[in-house]
Amino acid sequence: MITTGQIIRCKAAVAWEAGKPLVMEEVEVAPPQKHEVRIKILFTSLCHTDVYFWEAKGQTPLFPRIFGHEAGGIVESVGEGMTDLAPGDHVLPIFTGECGDCRYCHSEESNMCDLLRINTDRGGMIHDGESRFSIDGKPIYHFVGTFTFSEYTVVHSGQVAKINPEAPLDKVCIVSCGLSTGLGATLNVAKPKKGQSVAIFGLGAVGLAAAEGARMAGAGRIIGVDLNRKRFEEAKKFGVTEFVNPKDHDKPVQQVIAEMTDGGVDRSVECTGSVQAMIQAFECVHDGWGVAVLVGVPSKDDAFKTHPMNLLNERTLKGTFFGNYKPKTDIPGVVEQYMNKELEVEKFITHTVPFSEINKAFDYMLKGEGIRCIITMGA
Ligand code: NAD
Ligand code: ZN
């Protein structure tokens, strides 16, 4: 059946109200416009960011909305002006983009594209501000430009990474967000040398991906820090060799880690979102060469406070967005690392549900069960 240029009717999980279970609806998906592609989503997974904006506590509520931004699929059709993507391509839609033209895209040092940088308040497409989804003619808003909780979606081509068609989409779909964020924070920013020690603060999906990066880099010791001891068992599969629960100690974590490592770790990666943990992650690196990388998203009014001497003593503090990966240029390479068996993806996948039971994926995340839940479309 030729669907190019036609409206497609398909199933989507619509969030009608903040915090209420998603409802399976038949939606109309408009054809892609200039620089857009329409993608048949085959697998999607749930990330914390979807849950934060679905709960809409402290964020601008925008409903009805279709969430979802970790996914894999196949291009169904392309809009005008498309040269790098064609129907049949295997792709990962990504919540942040790469226009290829702006100062950030031209810079080797940044991935924060001016045009397509993540925007959680926008509910329509960049091209015309309109949504490509509707029910009975009424628009359903978008989320971070990807909205993958639908059998078909329309995405700006700058937010689409074309990957190896041999790669299993039910696995590599998780490369499109959380996994790459943590992995890149270690491999691209902290850059531990072989044999060095790395502390990972926060052992959620992002922190475990940071640990996976440390394992791949050949780190000698990987120290996991978390307030939740339940996280430690799972983290062993990710090469974390030692654990510190700040609650078990009377002294500051910085001091505990300094004592364990003869003065501090060589690298640290913070993946908690807690400003206390950010300060600890910085102050626990060794003077002279230690590098700390912040990944977690803090609260609005947080402030980072440390004595400037900690910096003068040759410690480096860095931050990263999406692991410094450029979505179109670099993400296909992360998929290749999986194909070459350097990167282990399977261990992140702890649950699978059919699309019709997508609300279960929300339950798992809200209960803090498992790491990633794959949602199989068409099931
Ligand atoms: P998560 O909630 O699954 O994991 C966070 C972990 O940190 C939990 O296990 C929690 O117990 C632990 N934790 C919280 N406070 C702590 C503290 N003070 N000390 C030690 N451990 C502590 O979250 P996640 O999905 O893995 O995401 C981690 C962070 O990364 C979040 O803040 C998220 O918003 C952020 N994030 C950033 C980017 C980016 O590009 N910079 C991208 C995606 C996610
Ligand atoms: Zn750009």
Q: What is the CATH number of the domain that holds 206?
A: 3.40.50.720
User: In this structure, how many other beta carbons lie within 10 angstroms of the beta carbon of residue 376?
Assistant: 16
pLDDT at 374 over 70: yes
- Is residue 113 among the annotated active site residues? yes
| Active-site residue, 372 included | yes
Q: What is the pLDDT of residue 178?
A: 87
3-state SS assignment for residue 215? helix
Closest residue (by CA) to atom 35 of ligand 1? 296
Query: Is residue 154 domain-shared with residue 257, that is, in the same domain?
Result: no
| pLDDT > 90: percent of the chain | 85
Q: Pick the residue with more confidence: 283 or 125?
A: 283
* Predicted confidence (pLDDT) at residue 378 exceeds the cutoff of 90: no
199 occurs within a structural domain: yes
Q: For residue 112, what are the domain limits?
A: 8-174+345-376
pLDDT of residue 48: 85
pLDDT at residue 238 tops 80: yes
pLDDT at 122 over 90: no
Return the best residue to mutate from 295, 324, 372 for the ligand 1 pocket (most ligand atoms within 8 A of CB). 295
Tell me the three state secondary structure of residue 281: helix
**Percent of the chain with pLDDT strictly greater than 70:** 99
Q: Is the pLDDT of residue 213 over 90?
A: yes
- 203/222 same-domain check: yes
115 contact partners, CB below 8 Å, separation of at least 6: 97, 99, 101, 102, 126, 158
**Tens digit of each residue's pLDDT (9 = 90 or more) over 99-108:** 999 999 999 9
13 and 161 within one domain: yes
Token pair, residue 4, equals: 């190019």
Please indicate, yes or no, whether residues 35 and 112 belong to a single structural domain of this protein.
yes
pLDDT of residue 76: 97
Which residue type sits at 122?
Answer: R
So what's the pLDDT on residue 127? 87
Looking at the fold, whether 107 and 243 belong to one and the same domain comes out as no
User: Are 216 and 99 in the same domain?
Assistant: no
Tell me, yes or no, whether 370 and 288 share the same domain: no
C-alpha 115 to ligand 2 mean position (Å)? 5
Is the pLDDT reported for residue 231 higher than 80? yes
Which-ligand-closest: CA of 98?
2
Inside any domain, residue 39: yes
Residue 61 is assigned to a structural domain of this protein? yes
- Is there a catalytic annotation at residue 286? no
Supply the CATH number for residue 117's domain: 3.90.180.10
What are 156's two structure tokens? 């700006």
Q: Are residues 133 and 259 in the same domain?
A: no
Report which protein residue has its CA nearest ligand 1's atom 34. Answer: 297
Which pTM was predicted?
0.95
pLDDT band at 1 (very low <50, low <70, confident <90, very high): low
pLDDT at 379: 65
Res 176: pLDDT? 93
Mean pLDDT of the chain: 95
**Average pLDDT of 326-353?**
97
Residue 103 CA, ligand 2 centroid: distance in Å:
7
**pLDDT tens figures, 140-159:** 999 888 999 999 999 999 99
Q: What's the whole-number mean pLDDT along residues 175-185? A: 95
The total number of structural domains in the chain stands at 2
Average pLDDT over residues 75-93: 95
Domain assignment present for residue 330? The answer is no
Residue 326 lies in a domain: no
Residues forming beta bridges with residue 267, ordered by sequence position: 198, 291
